[in-house]
Amino acid sequence: MKTVHTDKAPAAIGPYSQAIIHGDTLYTSGQIPVDPATGEVVGTTIEEQADRVMKNLGAVLEAAGSSYENAIKTVCFLADMNDFAAFNEVYAKYFVNKPARSCVAVKTLPKNVLCEVEVIAAIG
């Protein structure tokens, strides 16, 4: 196993890695809409926050030698399922290959953000 870290995505806010590579598969931790340069939450709307999440995921995917196109499965967490359609519009711009996905609403996310996304992707 290999740990993945990039300064282009927020540092972990707990005892975990941004991602782990096992064999030819990448497992990312959930990314939230935090600006890696400032450590502050970006945006107040689901669209703004989802876009920052996708940029953070892209940085982790790139650091691991992967990409959105290699995504196998995503897990999406929303603070409010009423944001589902707006979240999907942003998500679809990044995950054009339509990987398998779960999307659930949760009571609260870290830093009270509106969304969090994790990815399983192939390397290469």
Active site residues per annotation: 103
Is 87 in contact with 37 (CB distance < 8 Å)? no
3-state secondary structure of 11: coil
Sheet holding 100-105, edge to edge: 2-4, 19-22, 25-28, 115-122, 71-78, 100-105
CA distances from 15 to 11, 18, 37, 124 (A): 11, 10, 20, 27
Task: List, in order, residues 6 or more apart from 5 with CB less than 8 Å away.
Answer: 17, 18, 63
